[in-house]
Structure 1
Amino acid sequence: MDTEMNTGRGVDAPADGLGLRESKKRETRQLISDHATRLFLQQGFERTTIAEIAAAARVAKKTVTNYFPRKEDLALDHQEEFVAGLARTVADRQPGQSALTALRLAFQAAVTAQDPVAGFAGPEFSRMIAASPTLSACLRALHDRREAALAHALAEATGAPADDITARTAAALLAAVHRTLFQRIQELTLAGRGNPDIAAVLTEETTRAFDLLEPALAHYAVRGPERSPSGQ
């Protein structure tokens, strides 16, 4: 447990700046998540029940579902970060930088960092996902949602309508590269390769994958120069 609470009888706020009530809620959420993950890894996602998770965490079943409305939310707890990541990278790209360049650099950084959100989840977690039809379907849906969010961000970046076919096609191409590389990391993980070895392989394969998009997208959604406050 990494949540720490102040022990000063409520006189002082917790050290992390959260109120006592909010800190307790975060601690309970983490406790439930920790026990759920342990049980999923021990006996599989499909076989584990909400009742078992509640019993392990010593909370009511209703408490579990209040924090995690779906059982999948207990296993895939970085969903919103995953869905929003590509769109956020496009929105935050530097002046003169295309969407493709920004996304390429961000993914390369994720490979270097061996980021779990990029797919470096480790063998036990990867096996759990692969063995569960529910989680596999949920992951596919998250990839689809991420593509839709990226299409929206590209339309905004280019001043196009929300249903612009160019933005949607560009998002499909960019999301496909990310999906393929994510699956590649999972494939190598399940084959017994360690994260440093996988990162070395992906460093080269990432370059090849993104290079395929250069002819079509090298000059698409390039961010213009920032204006000074005076408009000059």
Structure 2
Amino acid sequence: MSIETPGLRESKKQETRQLISDHATRLFLEHGFEETTIAEIATAARVAKKTVTNYFPRKEDLALDHHEEFTASLARAVTDRADGESAVAALRREFNAALDERDPVAGFAGPDFARMIADSPTLTARLRDLHDQREEALAAALAAASPAATPAIAPRAAAALLAAAHRLLFRRIQELTLAGHPNDRIAATLAPEAAHAFDLLDASLNASPDTAQ
């Protein structure tokens, strides 16, 4: 009798999760998110319907399967920044890296995927919720790094401004994608726009050190 190691079990789980996600994405793109059912996804992936919901409790998570990375991304950039690096500088650096990598988490998902989201009220609402969650996580990270005497509103205010800039940049990538621009052109367009946004943030937030250092 063969015994599966924890590593092998985890690998199989990841393979099953990816299989379900791939079939779900294909069906969503072919038929639309609202029109595709969990049962159809299960049939395509050759798994039980319960298996799909075990891996993806919400149907939206099948489409936005990078949601955990997305909501944690800004907070992680602040938490992992180098000593002496401001929050604005860390987030600028991380966004520029995302542009260079054409990172899907930053919004580089391709025209078909962008259209699927734009055409789905459910996914549009879920994306707004994820942006809000990302802001909340960033506020918590800024609060944890702030001096004890920092006013309670300061990290939340800084997070609101920083998250709003990232929300705008994400939307710009989606807009340009839907307009038919290729990723390289989108990145070239966004680079100076992002620099302008971060310059504004740097001038405002770093003038009040407790909010962004």
Q: Distance in 1 between matches of 2:63 and 2:200?
A: 34
Alignment-derived partner of residue 172 in structure 1: 160
Judged with a 3 Å threshold, the aligned counterparts in structure 2 of structure 1 residues 118 and 66 are, in CA distance, closer, same or farther, namely same
Query: Residue 74 in 1 paired to residue 35 in 2?
Result: no
1:196 to partner: Cα distance: 0.2
Alignment-derived partner of residue 143 in structure 1: 131
Q: Distance in 1 between matches of 2:58 and 2:88?
A: 34
Q: Distance in 1 between matches of 2:116 and 2:151?
A: 36
Q: Which of 52, 68, 84 is residue 40 of structure 2 equivalent to?
A: 52
**TM-score of the pair, normalised by structure 1:** 0.85
Secondary structure at 1:216 match in 2: helix
Structure 1 unaligned regions, length at least 5: 1-8, 224-232
Alignment-derived partner of residue 39 in structure 1: 27
Q: Which of 18, 28, 35 is residue 30 of structure 1 equivalent to?
A: 18
Percent identity over the alignment is 67
Alignment-derived partner of residue 191 in structure 2: 203
Alignment-derived partner of residue 8 in structure 2: 20
Alignment-derived partner of residue 229 in structure 1: none
Alignment-derived partner of residue 190 in structure 1: 178
1:57 to partner: Cα distance: 1.0
Which entry has the higher C-alpha Rg, 1 or 2?
Answer: 1
Q: Which of 119, 122, 141 is residue 153 of structure 1 equivalent to?
A: 141
Q: Distance in 2 between matches of 1:147 and 1:45?
A: 26
Cα deviation 1:90-145 (Å, max 9, x = unaligned):
11111221111111111111111111100111111111111100000000000000
Partner amino acid for 1:116? P
Would the aligned equivalents of 1:101 and 1:218 in 2 still touch at CA under 8 Å? no
Alignment-derived partner of residue 107 in structure 1: 95
Would the aligned equivalents of 1:50 and 1:71 in 2 still touch at CA under 8 Å? yes
Partner amino acid for 2:147? G
Query: Residue 87 in 1 paired to residue 75 in 2?
Result: yes
Judged with a 3 Å threshold, the aligned counterparts in structure 2 of structure 1 residues 50 and 103 are, in CA distance, closer, same or farther, namely same
Partner amino acid for 2:164? A
Alignment-derived partner of residue 122 in structure 2: 134
Cα deviation 1:173-206 (Å, max 9, x = unaligned):
0000000000000000000000000000001111
Partner amino acid for 1:113? E
Partner amino acid for 1:203? A
Q: Distance in 2 between matches of 1:86 and 1:11?
A: 40
Secondary structure at 1:42 match in 2: helix
Alignment-derived partner of residue 228 in structure 1: none
Alignment-derived partner of residue 63 in structure 1: 51
**TM-score of the pair, normalised by structure 2:** 0.93
Partner amino acid for 1:89? A
Alignment-derived partner of residue 4 in structure 1: none
Judged with a 3 Å threshold, the aligned counterparts in structure 2 of structure 1 residues 190 and 157 are, in CA distance, closer, same or farther, namely same
